[in-house]
Structure 1
Amino acid sequence: MNVEEAIELLKEKGYKATGRRKDILGYFAESDGYRTAKDLIQYLDKGEDGISFDTIYRNLHLYHDVGILESTELNGEKHFRMNCTSHHHHHFICNDCGKTKEIEVCPMEEVTRKLANYEIDGHKFEIYGLCPDCQHA
């Protein structure tokens, strides 16, 4: 998803696309991997006027709820990234820097066989470790 698609989705859901919201979307569109609210605040604080934690968290959860951002938990903290809507895939996530790598393999075919009598509503498959850059650092 890119910034324009995200703004259009916000408008379709009845939300305004303010300058601050566009700044937040721009940050995630340019980021390679999952980022925290703290990362976002540090990025936005480079501007002239500050932004509150409440505003950040409110917008992050709004974007997650409407499907603009995906989230995961790393080291006990919630991380977000722009939603990948182009095709079904999963991610390797670096525990150190948060970068992601797409994984085209999906274990759901095997899981569906093992849970034949269960109704599955969805799934999320993530692998955690260290990317090559963080291994060498």
Structure 2
Amino acid sequence: MDELAHVFLNPAGNQGTGVVVVIQAPTGVLYAAQVAGHGNEERVVEGFALPIFNADYLQALKRFFGRYNGNLPSHLPPYEWWEGSDLQELAEIVSCIPLWSTSRNEDQPAFLEFDQLRLEELTEGWIPVRTVYGAGILIHQNSD
């Protein structure tokens, strides 16, 4: 098998990634990011990346995850560390982020949806979402 293209978002750690949605699809391109606060995990997802060009969304996500000071609730089963009110707040932030449905003939406004069925993937800088194009990962700059 040929090696897939590997794109590490912000490899030097000093540029910031803003907010990017990677729609999960068999594209042959892997996107990697350092996530999980002080946990310093590297995660990888295959798909196509769509940048979100609005700094307000990044600031809202930084405020939300900033309350944990880089020491996030566990993303391992049974996921009991994420409080329901926190998940609801995160869902509200994510639901404000537009990702239009576009085609050659028509463009329709649409928004991201936090995918709470994939809580095992949730951590700072890596949020599972549903989009008009299918499953995706919302990637944003990690706080550490």
TM-score by length of 2: 0.26
Q: Which protein is richer in strand relative to its size?
A: 2
Larger RCO: 1 or 2 (CA < 8 Å, sep 6+): 2
Q: Which protein is richer in helix relative to its size?
A: 1
Which one has a bigger Cα radius of gyration?
1
